[in-house]
Structure 1
Amino acid sequence: MDDIRPTITPGSKRFLDQLRLHIRQNGLAYRTEQTYLFWIKNFIRYHSRQHPKNLGSQDIEAFLSHLAEQRNCSVSTQRIALNALVYMYKRFMAVDVGDLKFSPAPTPKRLPVVYSRDEIAAILSQLRGVHRLQVELMYGTGLRKAELLSLRVKDIDFGSNNIFVRGGKGNKDRTTMLPQRLISRLTQQIEHVKRLHEQDVLDGYGEVYLPNALSKKYPSAATDIAWQFLFPSTTIGKDPRSGTLRRHHLHPSALSKQIRKAVQAAGIHKPARSHSLRHSFATHLLEAGYNLRTIQELLGHSDISTTEIYTHVVNRGGKGVLSPADSLAS
């Protein structure tokens, strides 16, 4: 249950506890909280564990330059670290750090890893049961791995043929299509969840994790089948906040392992990444003639320029200029 926010000791005066509380009060996603705390801790360690109040703009610049020059971090990683430090100083500590000057990380242009349709079919042929359903659902909807595992039973809307994504990246909600070929297996999966939940209730469990606001607003929702995870864990675990024993969703590492094994077994010599299923979804939609705006909405990108990277993939492999070698007489 490592995607559940731990409790903060009431009245704690620890700097990082107060920072965590500020992040939560401002409605930032838990993944953002984890990322910000990670980089802020790195910043503090880099400066020999000095308190941030004793550090300033030059110290921030030195740390960010260190990431680029000694750690060889990417520009996106450097930007995330910058965002974390700016949040801490400007929003939490109300300290203006001014215009920062530091060595920017290099910005190499890398194309996403995309599987062809034949490669997708080969990967799926190596999978069985719930893992095949998960992989097919990611490829068929463009869901991120965390979004897939966070799905609840209620998020599958067979009536409107939509899947509702709650609190995706950037803590935004969106909808994506429900693949028709998966309706039967999703129905079976929901029936499995119902049977499992009924047994959990009989065994004295049956309460699913809900964010604090929802658990207070809908106190009975935790035991409602609609709120149970679509892909529940095979075991009961302890909630890090309350110590309550309950069933969470499957762990991300289990899915990553299955994808890695399937890609290797299929003889595909490309990186085995769950995110490549999302890249493949977008690329194949673009190849099919769907416009960028539609794909942007389905992916949940806030900026169209993020979606435009897929045009560079489509324009390769026979989709653009004809190779002069193909014009040679045999």
Structure 2
Amino acid sequence: MSEQKAKSEVVSQLVRLARRERLSYDDFAYVCQQARKKLKLKKTKREYRLPHLLTAEELTRFFKAVRDGGQVQHEIILQLLMFTAVRVGELVKIEVSDLDLAACKIFVDQGKGSKDRYLLFPQAFALVLRAHLAAHPDNRFLFETQRRGAYTVRRIQQIVQQYRLNAGLSDAVHPHLFRHQMLTFLTGEKLSDAQIQLLSGHASKKSLEVYQHLSLDAVESAYQQAVKRLDLGP
């Protein structure tokens, strides 16, 4: 048996022991920490792959296919995904009461990591959202299906795939892609890392000190100026 395999077996035995003795999480974490030190185990580095992005031409084709589909709510959903870089799991939970149309902000209640935060959207998009709400005055959620319930993440994924096919795009397109697209765009518009992290909701220990001196108000002007140059087609 190789040395690495022997160490892995020890770890497996520790897991079985912890289950049998019903160790608490803290006790189990302590045992694992000590075992790693004793065995000189190192955590494998996580590999990060750069996301595939659509070209400007592909992005235009995609949103043209959305407009040609004639489903206004679908168009608003997908534009909001792009403009706000919101996670799709957060998008489907947005309620009408979370919107502040005057301030062009959306409150995200208990987003990823159980963190509350705000999203920004373009000032011109406030008119679109206002019209959407006027057309659906009884909505609880910002976006609701014909059965008057919130969309599921799976349904949003299906909608994106349908428009990908309609646009004739061969590469994979998924809701999270629009988050990557927007954050990449804002990076190209020279927003700072700290500003983008605040807009995206990314948590980084390295940026905590910066966050203490940076508010959403300080980012809003740069965001609004940048998004005016975002072209999703006619």
Kindly provide the CA deviation profile for residues 296-327 of structure 1, in whole angstroms up to 9, marking residues without a partner as x: 00001111779xxxxxxxxxxxxxxxxxxxxx
Q: How much does 1:187 deviate?
A: 1.2
Distance 1:304 1:283, change over 3 A: farther
Q: How far apart are the structure 1 equivalents of 2:101 and 2:111?
A: 21
Which residue pairs with 1:117 in the alignment? Answer: 56
Give me the TM-score of the superposition, normalised by structure 2.
0.68
Which residue pairs with 1:209 in the alignment? Answer: none
Matched, 1:155 2:98: yes
Distance 1:163 1:117, change over 3 A: farther
Q: How far apart are the structure 2 equivalents of 1:95 and 1:290?
A: 39
Q: How much does 1:106 deviate?
A: 6.0
Matched, 1:283 2:184: yes
Q: How far apart are the structure 2 equivalents of 1:229 and 1:96?
A: 43
Give me the TM-score of the superposition, normalised by structure 1.
0.50
Q: How far apart are the structure 2 equivalents of 1:232 and 1:161?
A: 21
Q: Which one of the candidate residues 87, 103, 107 is aligned to 2:46?
A: 107
Kindly provide the CA deviation profile for residues 268-295 of structure 1, in whole angstroms up to 9, marking residues without a partner as x: 3322111110000100011111111110
Task: Give 3-state SS (helix, strand or coil) of 2:106's partner.
Answer: strand
Task: Give 3-state SS (helix, strand or coil) of 2:187's partner.
Answer: helix
Q: Is the 8 A contact 1:89 1:96 kept in 2?
A: no
The code of the aligned residue for 2:46 comes to T
Matched, 1:299 2:200: yes
Which residue pairs with 1:263 in the alignment? Answer: 164
Task: Give 3-state SS (helix, strand or coil) of 1:165's partner.
Answer: strand
The code of the aligned residue for 1:90 comes to Y
Q: How far apart are the structure 1 equivalents of 2:47 and 2:180?
A: 18
Kindly provide the CA deviation profile for residues 250-271 of structure 1, in whole angstroms up to 9, marking residues without a partner as x: 1221110111121232233322
Q: How far apart are the structure 1 equivalents of 2:206 and 2:64?
A: 34
Q: Is the 8 A contact 2:84 2:121 kept in 1?
A: yes
Unaligned runs of 5+ in 2: 1-11, 208-234
Q: Is the 8 A contact 1:162 1:176 kept in 2?
A: yes
Matches within 5 A, 1:126-141: 126-127=65-66, 128-141=71-84
The code of the aligned residue for 1:141 comes to T
Q: How much does 1:117 deviate?
A: 3.1
Q: How far apart are the structure 2 equivalents of 1:273 and 1:305?
A: 29
Distance 1:105 1:98, change over 3 A: closer
Matches within 5 A, 1:56-135: 89-91=24-26, 96-99=30-33, 100-101=35-36, 104=43, 107-127=46-66, 128-135=71-78
Q: Is the 8 A contact 1:90 1:97 kept in 2?
A: no
Q: Which one of the candidate residues 50, 53, 56 is aligned to 2:19?
A: 53
Task: Give 3-state SS (helix, strand or coil) of 1:133's partner.
Answer: helix
Q: How far apart are the structure 2 equivalents of 1:94 and 1:103?
A: 18
Which residue pairs with 2:225 in the alignment? Answer: none
Which residue pairs with 2:229 in the alignment? Answer: none
Distance 1:305 1:115, change over 3 A: farther
Tell me the matched-pair count.
185
Q: How far apart are the structure 2 equivalents of 1:133 and 1:305?
A: 35
Task: Give 3-state SS (helix, strand or coil) of 2:113's partner.
Answer: helix
Distance 1:302 1:145, change over 3 A: same
Task: Give 3-state SS (helix, strand or coil) of 1:293's partner.
Answer: helix
Greater relative CO (CA pairs within 8 A, separation 6+):
2
Q: Which one of the candidate residues 168, 172, 176 is aligned to 2:111?
A: 168
Distance 1:269 1:55, change over 3 A: farther
